[in-house]
Amino acid sequence: MSVRSGRHYTAIPGPSVMPDRVLQAMHRAAPNIYSPELADLVGTIVPDLKAIAGTKHHAAMYIANGHGVWEAVVSNTLNRGDKVLVPATGRFAFGWAAMAERMGVECDILDFGKRSPIDLDAVATALAADKAHQIKAVLAVHVDTSTSVKNDIEGLRAVLDAAKHPALLMADCMASLGCDRFEMDALGVDVMLAGCQKGLMTPPGMGFIFFNDKADAVRGTCTQTSHYWDWRPRMAPEEFYQYFDGTAPTHQLFALREALNMINEEGLENVWARHETLARAYWAAIDAWGQGGPMELNIANPALRGHSVTAVRIGASHGTALRDWLEAEMGVTLGVGLGMAEPNDPAWHGFFRIGHMGHVNGHMVMGALGAIQSGLIALGIPHGPGALDAAAQICANP
C-alpha cells in the first residue's frame, strides 16, 4: 500500500512548478509569427522582465537554457585571450568558467568550497594584484543552486570600486531572479543572466541577459561575437524576427506573459517576501530534525542562504533512500545533491536539495515537510522532534 496517488509534487530546484494559468496560456493554436499580435506581446514582456531584474538598461532574450546565456554573455563581452576572475561557491561558477575557457578565455578561479560564500577580501587581493587590469570581468553566481549559498553581489561591486578596477561585474541570477531580492542597477551589476524555468515559472528554453551601457561599449570591442549570440539586434530590433534571430518561441512567450502577469498581480516585493518565509519554514524544520539526527543545512548562516533552494546534508545513504521513498510512497520528488561528491562515490547518496522557487505556497511547503517527516519515520532515520511545529509557526507568523 502506498499513498502516492494524487497530484505529484516535483520540488526540485528547477524546472519549477508551472502554474495552471501558465500551462493553459500555451494551450492554443499557433499564431501567425508575422502578425502584430506576437510583436505586441513581446513588447509587453521586455519591460516587465527589466522591472523584475531591477534595470532600466538593456535586455536580450534567447531561445536557450542557462548554458546558452552563459555562452551568449561570453560571446558579447570577451575576446580570445582575455582573462576573467571567477569566485566559485559551488557547481555553477565552474560551469560558466568551463564555457568561457572553451571560448579561449583564461579563467582565474578562486574556489571557496561548497559551504561558504565568496570571500570579498580574497577577491580584493586578486584585483589589487592585477595592476595592468588584465582581468576583464568578474563572473559571479548570485545564488548557487548546488550549495544554496547566496553571494554578496553588492560587496563585489564595492570591492571593484575600492580597487578602481574597470572589470565588468557579471552575475548569474538563474536561481534567484523572481525569488531573492536583486536590483541590478542599484547593485551596480553590468551584466546579469537568468532563465525562465525557475522563479519565472515557465517551461525551460528561454534565457535572458540584462546589460548596461558600459557592457555594451565592451561589446563594441568584441571581435568574435557570433551572429546568433549577438545581443545588439536583440536589444533594439529593427524587425521582429531579430528579437530571437529567427522564429520566436511562440508558446513560451504566451506562458511567460502569463507568469509575468501572476508576478505583477502579487507584486515583486510580496513575491520576494513569500520566498523568504517559505525558505525559513524549511530551514526551521530541518534545524529541528537535525537536533536529533544527521540532517544539516549545507549553509550554516541563514543570512548566506538563497531563498529559492535549500541544500541539505544527511549522510550516505540516507539522502538517496529518502528521495526514493518520498517519490515512491508520497508522490514528492526532491532534488539530488549536486556537486557535493562524485556520482560514483558512496558519499554522493548523503545529500538532497529542495526547490522552493516560483509557484510555491505554504501548503506545498508544509505538505513536503510532512512527507519528509513520514520518510524519516519509515526509514528509521534519527531526527529531532518539533519540525512541523517550527515550520507552521513561521507560516503562521511570517
Q: Which residues bind ligand PLP (CB under 6 A)?
A: 14, 65-67, 92, 141, 144-145, 172, 174-175, 195, 204
> At its nearest, how many Å lie between ligand PLP and the CB of residue 233?
23
> At its nearest, how many Å lie between ligand PLP and the CB of residue 268?
20
Q: Which residue is nearest to ligand PLP (CB)?
A: 66
Written as nine digits, the cell of 110 is 578562486
> At its nearest, how many Å lie between ligand PLP and the CB of residue 288?
28
Nearer of residues 192 and 285 to ligand PLP, judged by Cβ: 192
Nearer of residues 14 and 331 to ligand PLP, judged by Cβ: 14
> At its nearest, how many Å lie between ligand PLP and the CB of residue 142?
8
CA pair distance 145, 176, nearest whole angstrom: 9
Whether omega before 374 lies within 30 degrees of 0, making that bond cis, reads no
Nearer of residues 54 and 199 to ligand PLP, judged by Cβ: 199
> At its nearest, how many Å lie between ligand PLP and the CB of residue 172?
5
> At its nearest, how many Å lie between ligand PLP and the CB of residue 148?
10
Nearer of residues 55 and 176 to ligand PLP, judged by Cβ: 176
What is the full DSSP assignment across 304-334?
A: GB-SSEEEEE--TTHHHHHHHHIIIIISEEE
Q: What angle do CA 359, 364, 370 make, to 5 degrees?
A: 155
Nearer of residues 150 and 165 to ligand PLP, judged by Cβ: 150
126 neighbors 162 (Cβ within 8 angstroms): no
> At its nearest, how many Å lie between ligand PLP and the CB of residue 150?
11
Tell which residue, 299, 300, 318, has the closest CA to residue 372: 318
* In 76-197, beta strands by DSSP E: 83-88, 106-111, 135-141, 168-172, 191-195
Nearer of residues 174 and 360 to ligand PLP, judged by Cβ: 174
Contacts of 332 (CB under 8 A, 6+ apart): 8, 9, 11, 326, 367, 368, 371, 372
> Within 13 Å of residue 245, how many CA atoms lie on the same side as its CB?
16
Nearer of residues 165 and 198 to ligand PLP, judged by Cβ: 198
214 neighbors 167 (Cβ within 8 angstroms): no
Instruction: Please compute Rg for the chain using Cα positions.
Output: 21
Nearer of residues 144 and 190 to ligand PLP, judged by Cβ: 144
193 neighbors 73 (Cβ within 8 angstroms): yes
> At its nearest, how many Å lie between ligand PLP and the CB of residue 253?
18
